Chain A
Amino acid sequence: MPSLILTAVVRIFFVIMLVGSLWVLLRGHNEPGGGFIGGLVGAAGFSVLALALGVEAARRALVLHPVVLMGAGLAVAFASGVPGILTDGSFLTHQWGTLAGVKLGTTIVFDLGVYMVVVGGVLSFMFRLYAEDAV
């Protein structure tokens, strides 16, 4: 049963949760956080959207099919390890550089991949669970 209050505030919640999840993702660079819990927060945001406005609305908001997102995320995480092969190291040897005073590395690419895998993985069964509930 859709609740009026939830439907009214869900878009604000969704944006806050999504921004929060990205903040957690980036915070993981040096402090507790990272792709995994960031992904969970992000997936929770989409789940709230699905709860309030229905699975179809959440699917539209996600744009990509959850499994596609999962595959793309795995591919991104995989790609982050490849530079390690090309340099003298091994797979997943992360590379570092400085851009305008900020230390950047391929680790953030890996974390982004994890974030996508978690969002895709959680949502691929969450959407189906909600969809079956509605029937």
Chain B
Amino acid sequence: MADATALLVLWPVLIPIATAALTAALWKSPVAQRRVGLASLALLLVASLALVWAVIDEGVIAKQFGAWAAPFGISFVADPLSAAMIAISGILAFAVGIFALSDIKERHERAGFHPLFHGLLAGVNGAFLTGDIFNLYVWFEVMLITTLGLLVVQRGRAQIDGALKYAAMNLFGTILFLIAVALLYGATGTLNMADLARILPQMEMSPGLTASALLFLAAFGIKAGVFPLFFWLPASYHTAPIAIAALFAGLLTKVGVYAAFRVFTLMFEMEGGALREIVAVVAALTMITGVFGAAIQWNVRRILSFHIISQIGYMLMGLAIATPVAIAGAVFYIVHHIIVKANLFLLAGAIKHAAGTDDLRKAGGLLKSHPWLAVLFLIPALSLAGIPPLSGFWAKFLVIDASLRVEAWWLAAVALGVGALTLFSMSKIWMEAFWKKPVLVRATPRTVPVAFVVPIALLGAVTLTIGLFADPFVEYARTATAMLVDPTDYIAAVFPGEAPVRTVEYPAATQGAIE
């Protein structure tokens, strides 16, 4: 029996793949697919949390597929950042899986909802865990294909339209990604990320490598939905059924952000060239366009789609500043945002169900008819806007604090202004859907299914926990950042046989003596 701890790295990918296979094989019986799917999501949640536990306990864990040694075989690596992403997506997938019990209809299941859903989870988790840049591209493709399938499980004109826009932009992005990988391989002769982390710092930034870095930035930018490459996102997200849209909103763009963090800390340095300025300007414009785009919308899901974009700006801001404090803030931000944004999409589904519409102008009166729904809405909404003591406050605080420390005043000002406008959008939903008198009076009040309330409450509880007990989470984000900034552990985990380049951080005073 192999070492069970190291195998933990594989389960978050193997469980969804096996489930996708099983649910496809059970094509004839949607009920059986549903049962297998839910059991697998519970199992995935346990496996994900076990992985975080193991990473906290033992540091970076790496595993080679097929026992081919690095850098020739494909490595799977769980450092604190990837483990956190795995855990969060495990929690999210479980919550969305419960929500889907009521939201996903049998015709969606007949169109292949379950195999595609688990296939997407395999792609996302694979992208988080892989330690090989070409393998990352493969997981991106897995995500792309399953996402396209999920966008059209509800067959209609709007869905096909959204899927085509999504496909056009994202296929272009993956082509850029592939070219970037090719250039990188041409220059370095390796695709293993840990190997690249050893080789690249010693190399001159040749034109080929610079082009490769910029192409990576553009490819991940399209995935993450940054300015000016975001327009596929609000064009497609709101067309999918709620459960699917919530999963997309929580995870898809964040995979792009994660990949950018991985590549631009482990492989390329942010300091070199004009990269930093480019990312800073892009981050600011992303925040601003996203929040203004949201301000003019009246459809709840469209408002939320635009807010994904503006929030991506905050995460990129952390990458642009690139000090350890800023990266820690951004890591915290990603974790907070995945939960909050998915929860808001689930709430949009609940609002639509309760009000019978997701056009805010026609909704209203939910505070009276569904007071507990109003409370559950306030948690993620205020958290998104950054009101203390919720998780969004700490996330924004950490990022803005980092920008002030490097005296990037304008970036901090943009971030604060966008925060205020986010509050405006959230209060718009609150005023129109909950506060306002109902426009159309209904004879019988519409009830919201239990399967909607449970995941919303679950994710709300996670948000509250992160907000009220922020300290261990911030501490975790700091540890994750320390590993990102200094990849010694990451490299050592992938190449266990070889002597590490540098084992410990020596205090500055003794460093001279040792050397």
A-contacting residues, B14-43, CB 8 Å: 14, 17-18, 20-28
The 8 closest A-B pairs by CB, nearest first: A71-B24, A71-B25, A74-B21, A75-B21, A89-B67, A92-B66, A93-B67, A67-B27
1/0 per residue, CB under 8 A from B, across A72-90: the answer is: 1111001000001111111
Q: How far is the CB of B113 from chain A (nearest CB, A)?
A: 12
B458 CB to nearest chain A CB (Å): 30
Interface residue B386 (Cβ < 8 Å from any Cβ of A): no
* B21 pairs with A71, CB closer than 8 A: yes
A55–chain B nearest beta-carbon distance, Å: 17
Contact call B66/A68, Cβ cutoff below 8 A: no
Contacts A67-B112, A90-B64 aside, 20 further interface pairs with beta carbons under 8 A come to A68-B24, A68-B26, A68-B27, A71-B20, A71-B23, A71-B25, A71-B115, A72-B21, A72-B24, A73-B21, A74-B21, A75-B18, A75-B22, A78-B17, A85-B10, A86-B1, A87-B2, A88-B1, A90-B6, A92-B65
Asked if A48 lies at the interface with its beta carbon under 8 angstroms from chain B, I say no
Residues of A within 8 A of B387 (CB): none
Binding site for B on A (CB under 8 A): 65, 67-68, 70-75, 78, 84-94
Residues of chain B with a CB closer than 8 A to A68's CB:
24-28
Give Cα A90–Cα B66 distance, bound, in whole angstroms: 5
Q: Give chain B interface residues in 58-73, CB to chain A under 8 Å.
A: 63-67
Using CB atoms, name the residue of chain A closest to B26: A71
Distance to closest chain B CB from A46 (angstroms): 17
Bound-state CA distance A88–B2 (Å) is 5
| 17 A-B contact pairs sorted by A residue (CB < 8 Å) | A65-B27, A65-B28, A67-B24, A67-B115, A68-B26, A68-B27, A71-B25, A74-B20, A75-B18, A75-B22, A78-B14, A78-B17, A78-B18, A85-B2, A86-B1, A89-B2, A91-B7
- Residues of chain B contacted by A74 (CB below 8 angstroms): 17, 20-21, 24
Closest residue of A by beta carbon distance from B74 = A92
Instruction: Decide if the interface of chain A is mainly helix, strand, loop or mixed.
Output: helix
Q: Which residues of A contact B66 (CB under 8 A)?
A: 84, 89-94
Q: Which of A73, A84, A87, A92 has the most CB of B within 10 A?
A: A92
The residue in chain A whose Cβ has the minimal distance to the Cβ of B13 is A91
* Nearest Cβ on chain A to B69's Cβ, whole angstroms: 11
Q: How far is the CA of A15 from the CA of B368 in the complex (A)?
A: 69
* Chain A residues, CB < 8 A from B21: 71-75, 78
Hey, which chain A residues are within 8 Å of B27, CB to CB?
65, 67-68, 71
| Chain A proximity of B182: nearest CB distance (Å) | 22
- Whether the Cβ atoms of A90 and B10 lie closer than 8 Å is yes
* Inter-chain contacts of B115 with A (CB < 8 A): 67, 71
Which among B2, B17, B20, B21 has the highest number of chain A CB atoms within 10 Å? Answer: B21
Contact A90 B25 (CB under 8 A): no
Tell me whether A90 and B2 are in contact (CB under 8 A).
yes
A71 pairs with B7, CB closer than 8 A:
no
B67 contacts which chain A residues (CB < 8 A)? 84, 89-90, 93
Q: Please give me the residue from chain B that is nearest to A67 by CB atom.
A: B27
Shortest C-beta distance, B257 to chain A (Å), equals 28
Residues of chain A lying within 8 A (CB to CB) of residue B20: 71, 74
